[in-house]
Each structure stands twice: as structure tokens, then as C-alpha cells.
């Protein structure tokens, strides 16, 4: 399967003439995960200390202290700690290979979807990689392009692997033997020419919907728990007010953010095709986040220039735009309008204002 054989852009590639850590977008992701890991660790530590304090007070003065907060803090600490461990493992392996090795292109075949196993050929050498956290996006892009990018393996067989158009690396491990039960992954062709029907983009929309439902349920449980605590406690200053207020705040933020998250998919669902336009990015600053404001200019189909503003341009959107000097707009671009932008065939979308 040759890159672009499905009529999709081939995406941004990592630089191979330098160490991976010197490649701008690789370093951006590494710094981002490092900061995120440190924040999660601090939150987990704080929750753990509070849980111990509340537990100690509940044991010393059981009649005067509400144990509800302790019961809530212990599982919260456990969940946050697991999240920190996942981030810390990614950072540890990336930190072992990125400063020493460069990215390499490898011919790839996805031999099995779950758990994901990829056959990667570099020159005359073929290795088999187990990619435990490979999602549909990784499998589909690797299958249709026939290529992955490797940083590693190191002496312990650890590898960071990425696919065209996506700058974040995934953890992989060299398998000693090829899997016996092989069910090779093949690219899924869209049911129609509509952008919203492209499998990878449809996956992104489903994932956003699941995240919204999970956030609403989690916030609702906090609210319900707070209501029950307050209702069953005769003390009006019950500590149950904390989860109640916090849950209501979270619920409000989730619901208010739903419109912004759904705006780009809704715009894409209304159109029948993407329109590629030349673009020049003048400024973009992530400020330690996955998204950041970008500004520049595009050239409309009639040849005239229009100002471009993308309030939340992702790292991958910027990487692909800078690699191709092309911005893909859902539908026909028009001045003084808000449009959906992205990269066809990749989980990369956003909102842009044309001036």
C-alpha cells in the first residue's frame, strides 16, 4: 500500500537527520508530557496526603469527624496515581531513546490489531513490535501508508513509534517471535466521499462523544454524592458541600464546552468535500499545551488573500500545515466566516476564522 493511495495527504514526517529530541514537534510532545506528568504527580501526592490526614482524624475522633471525604479521597488518589504511572512510563522510555537516536522510516505491516503487533522492516532487518496502546488511528494510518517511524530500539528492546501526520510517539517493545495468530489490518475505505465518513475522522468524533458522556456521568456522580451527604447529615456545614459544589462546577464547564467541541464536527458533517488552499502561518504558540492560537493568511480559490485565525490549533495541525503549506477547509472558504479545518484522513480538526 503506497502512501496517498487512498487519495489522502501523506502527512508530516519527522526529521531523520538529527536526534529525535532535536526534532521540534518530538520535543514539544516530550516537554508537554513531562509537565503533565509532574502536575498529575503533585495532585496525586496532595490527594494522598489529605487522605492520610482525614483517615487519621477519622480514627482519632470518629464521633466528631465525617469519614465521607476519606472514602472519596482514597479511590481518587488511586485513579490519579495510575494516570501518573502511565505518563511516567512514557516519559521514561522516550527519555531513554529520544536524546540518543534519530527517527527512521520502516516499511510496516500491521499483523494484528489487539494487542497490536507491527512488522517493521528497516533495510534488510525486520523486527516485530508490540504496541500495547495503539488505537484505531495508529493501525489505520500505518496500514494505509505501509510505513511507521521508529526511534530505537535501545539495548532493552524499547522503541518509540509514530505514524505519518501524527507527532506523538507511542511506546513499543520488540517481540522475540512473530505472532502465530495473524489477522493483518487493512485500510478501511470511506463509505462515501463525505469527509465525516472517513474512518479515522469518524473515530475522533465518536471519541469526543464518549469523553463528553463520561465527563457528564462523573460530574453527575459528584453532584449526587454531595446531595446525599448533605441530605443525610444534620450539620448544615457538612463537608458534602464540597463534592456538590465541585460537581456542579464541573458539570457546567463540560456542558458549556460541548458546543465548542461539537462545532467543527458539525460543520464538517454538512459538507461534501475538503478544499485545499495555500497557507502561510505567521505565528503559533502552544504555551505548554496541545493547542495554541495560530495566525496567518490563506489564498482563496479566486487568488485573493484572507486573514486566518485558529484559536486552538493543535500541534499536529501546525506540523502538517508547515510541512505541506496547505490548509484543508471543509466546504468552500468564504471571507468573514468560521470554518472547520483539518487534514483529511487524520484525527486533526479545528475551527478557523477567515477575515
Statement to judge: residues 12 and 110 lie in one domain: yes
Residues 181-223 have pLDDT tens digits of 888 898 888 878 888 989 999 999 888 888 888 888 887 877 8
Statement to judge: residues 214 and 228 lie in one domain: yes
User: Quick check: is 297 in a domain?
Assistant: yes
User: Quick check: is 41 in a domain?
Assistant: yes
User: Quick check: is 268 in a domain?
Assistant: no
Residue 349, φ and ψ in degrees, nearest 5: -140, 165
Report the pLDDT value the prediction gives residue 1, as an integer from 0 to 100.
Answer: 38
* Residue that terminates a domain, selected from 71, 97, 123: 97
Number of domains in the chain: 4
Residues 314-331 have pLDDT tens digits of 999 999 999 999 999 999
CA distance 27 to 30: 5
End-to-end CA distance of the chain: 40
3-state secondary structure 199-225: HHHHHHHHHHHHHHHHHHHHHHHHHHH
| CB of 202 closer than 8 Å to CB of 209 | no
Q: Which positions of the chain have pLDDT values less than 50?
A: 1-5, 236
* Residue that terminates a domain, selected from 213, 241, 263: 263
Residues spanned by the domain of 4:
1-17+102-189
Statement to judge: residues 88 and 208 lie in one domain: no
Statement to judge: residues 108 and 183 lie in one domain: yes
CA distance 4 to 273: 17
Statement to judge: residues 126 and 80 lie in one domain: no
Statement to judge: residues 138 and 278 lie in one domain: no
User: Quick check: is 310 in a domain?
Assistant: yes
Statement to judge: residues 60 and 202 lie in one domain: no
Statement to judge: residues 91 and 125 lie in one domain: no
Q: How far is CA 108 from CA 140, 144, 179, 217, in A?
A: 12, 10, 15, 40
* Residue that terminates a domain, selected from 263, 287, 308: 263
Amino acid at each position: 500500500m503506497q502512501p496517498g493511495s487512498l487519495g489522502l495527504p501523506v502527512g508530516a514526517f519527522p526529521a531523520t537527520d538529527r536526534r529525535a529530541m532535536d526534532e521540534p514537534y518530538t520535543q514539544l510532545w516530550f516537554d508537554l508530557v513531562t509537565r503533565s506528568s509532574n502536575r498529575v504527580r503533585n495532585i496525586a501526592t496532595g490527594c494522598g496526603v489529605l487522605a492520610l490526614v482525614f483517615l487519621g482524624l477519622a480514627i482519632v475522633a470518629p464521633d466528631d469527624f465525617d469519614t465521607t471525604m476519606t472514602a472519596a479521597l482514597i479511590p481518587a488518589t488511586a485513579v490519579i496515581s495510575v494516570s501518573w504511572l502511565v505518563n511516567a512510563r512514557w516519559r521514561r522510555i522516550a527519555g531513554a531513546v529520544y536524546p540518543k537516536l534519530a527517527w527512521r522510516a520502516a516499511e510496516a505491516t500491521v499483523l494484528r490489531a489487539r494487542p497490536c503487533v507491527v512488522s517493521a522492516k528497516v533495510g534488510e532487518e525486520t523486527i516485530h513490535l508490540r504496541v500495547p496502546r495503539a488505537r484505531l488511528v495508529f493501525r489505520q494510518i500505518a496500514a494505509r501508508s505501509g510505513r511507521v517511524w521508529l526511534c530505537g530500539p535501545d539495548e532493552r528492546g524499547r522503541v518509540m513509534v509514530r505514524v505519518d501526520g501524527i507527532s506523538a510517539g507511542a511506546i513499543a517493545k520488540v517481540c522475540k517471535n512473530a505472532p502465530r495468530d495473524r489477522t493483518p489490518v487493512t485500510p478501511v475505505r470511506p463509505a462515501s466521499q463525505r469527509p465525516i465518513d472517513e474512518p479515522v475522522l469518524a473515530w475522533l468524533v465518536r471519541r469526543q462523544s464518549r469523553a463528553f458522556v463520561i465527563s457528564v456521568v462523573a460530574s453527575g456522580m459528584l453532584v449526587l454524592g454531595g446531595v446525599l451527604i448533605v441530605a443525610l447529615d444534620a450539620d448544615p456545614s457538612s463537608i458534602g458541600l464540597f463534592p456538590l459544589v465541585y460537581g456542579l462546577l464541573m458539570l457546567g464547564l463540560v456542558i458549556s464546552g460541548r458546543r465548542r467541541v461539537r462545532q467543527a464536527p458539525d460543520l464538517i458533517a454538512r459538507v461534501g468535500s475538503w478544499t485545499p488552499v495555500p497557507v502561510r502561518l505567521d505565528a503559533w504558540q502552544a504555551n505548554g499545551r496541545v493547542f495554541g492560537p495560530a495566525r496567518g493568511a490563506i489564498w482563496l480559490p479566486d487568488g485573493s488573500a484572507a486573514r486566518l485565525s485558529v484559536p486552538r490549533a493543535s500541534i499536529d495541525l501546525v506540523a502538517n500545515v508547515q510541512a505541506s503549506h496547505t490548509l484543508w477547509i471543509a466546504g468552500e472558504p468564504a471571507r468573514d466566516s468560521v470554518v472547520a479545518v483539518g487534514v483529511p484522513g487524520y484525527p486533526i480538526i479545528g475551527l478557523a476564522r477567515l477575515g
